[in-house]
Structure 1
Amino acid sequence: MKRILPILLCASAAACSTGGQVNPDVMQIATAPLTCSDKTQCDLWWQRAQDWVRAHSRYEVQTATDTLIQTTGPGGGRRLLAYEITKSVNNDGTATIGFAAHCDSSLGCKPNPWSAGAAFKQFVRSGVDAPIPGADAVDAPAAGGAQAPASP
């Protein structure tokens, strides 16, 4: 028993130390600005944003306006992501779409907020819901960090 406890502690520490790492390619996609160039493109991208949130959120959409898409949650220590998507119109007629995702668990979120952000932005830009190379699957659990900061 005396030998098992140190082995278990080392194994759990090793698992925690690598769980919070994010693939740099995923980070780059997730943090890249999402700026549409004109009203037609912005309307299309905003519709895609709503479609993605409705398809990927385990929480219900609480608010859906011309400038905000917000789900209920998170709560109760759950690992599921809640989303808040914003649209800010710029002076030059473009608009920036922001993405924020967070959960209520110290064990990490499911899916990983960075991978979800990258998948969201890829879908909004292309209309294709495809996995991001090097990312966790959007439904895979992620250890460490319970929130991806809002990014444009």
Structure 2
Amino acid sequence: MNKVLVATLCIVAAGCSTQGQVNPDVMQIATAPLTCTSKSQCDAWWQRAHTWVTAHSRYEVTSATDSLIQTAGPDGGNRALAFEITKAPNNDGTSTIGFAAHCDSALGCRPNPWEAGADFKQFVRGNTPGAASTSSSGHAAGTSGQSTSSPTGEPVSQ
């Protein structure tokens, strides 16, 4: 009986040892700035951002303005992502669209916030069909309520 318990605990521990790892290609896409260069491009990208959030959030959109798309949540202990998308004008006439995602679970978020960020940015740019964002690796990331900034300064939860 004890041998079975020890073997089971070892398997569970081994499964947890890879949690939080993100494919470097996904990380690169997720941290790349999302900068639109013209009003028409910014308007189109902002509409696509709203479409993506509406399709991928388990929470309702609570705010949708010309500079903010925000969902409710996260609920206590829930692994579902809450989103905050911002659009900020730059001095050179371009605008940068920021992406932030976080959950409130000690077990991590589902989907993985980095993968969700990469999917969001590809969809907004028009590089993917916008399939539902789920973690194909099954890896959870993050800790309860923790958000960090990417190397480009954009807030990204992990």
**TM value normalised by structure 1:** 0.88
1:76-98 CA-to-partner distances (Å, cap 9, x unmatched) read 21111100001110011100000
1:56-67 → structure 2 map (5 Å cutoff):
56-67=56-67
Q: Give aligned pairs, total.
A: 147
Cα deviation for residue 127 of structure 1 reads: 6.4
Note if contact 2:30-2:121 (Cα within 8 Å) is conserved in structure 1: yes
Q: Which residue of structure 1 lines up, in the alignment, with residue 115 of structure 2?
A: 115
**TM value normalised by structure 2:** 0.85
Q: Which residue of structure 1 lines up, in the alignment, with residue 148 of structure 2?
A: 149
- Between the two structures, name the one with larger relative contact order (CA 8 Å, sep ≥ 6): 1
Output the CA distance in 1 between the equivalents of 2:79 and 2:91.
Answer: 38
Cα deviation for residue 145 of structure 1 reads: 1.4
Output the CA distance in 2 between the equivalents of 1:118 and 1:150.
Answer: 15
Note if contact 2:21-2:139 (Cα within 8 Å) is conserved in structure 1: no
1:96-141 CA-to-partner distances (Å, cap 9, x unmatched) read 000010111111211111111011000100164346xxxxx72235
Cα deviation for residue 142 of structure 1 reads: 3.3
Structure 2 unaligned segments of length 5 or more: list them.
none
Off by >4 Å, runs of 4+ in structure 1: none
**Aligned alpha-carbon RMSD (Å):** 1.8
1:37-81 CA-to-partner distances (Å, cap 9, x unmatched) read 011111111111011101111100011111111000011211111
Q: Which residue of structure 1 lines up, in the alignment, with residue 95 of structure 2?
A: 95
1:42-53 → structure 2 map (5 Å cutoff):
42-53=42-53
Q: Which residue of structure 1 lines up, in the alignment, with residue 71 of structure 2?
A: 71
Residue 134 (structure 2) pairs with residue 139 (structure 1): yes
2:18 is paired with a residue whose SS is helix
1:13-53 CA-to-partner distances (Å, cap 9, x unmatched) read 11111121100110110110000001111111111101110
Cα deviation for residue 5 of structure 1 reads: 2.5
2:62 is paired with a residue whose SS is strand
Q: What is the identity, as a one-letter code, of the residue corresponding to 2:41?
A: Q
Q: Which residue of structure 2 lines up, in the alignment, with residue 37 of structure 1?
A: 37
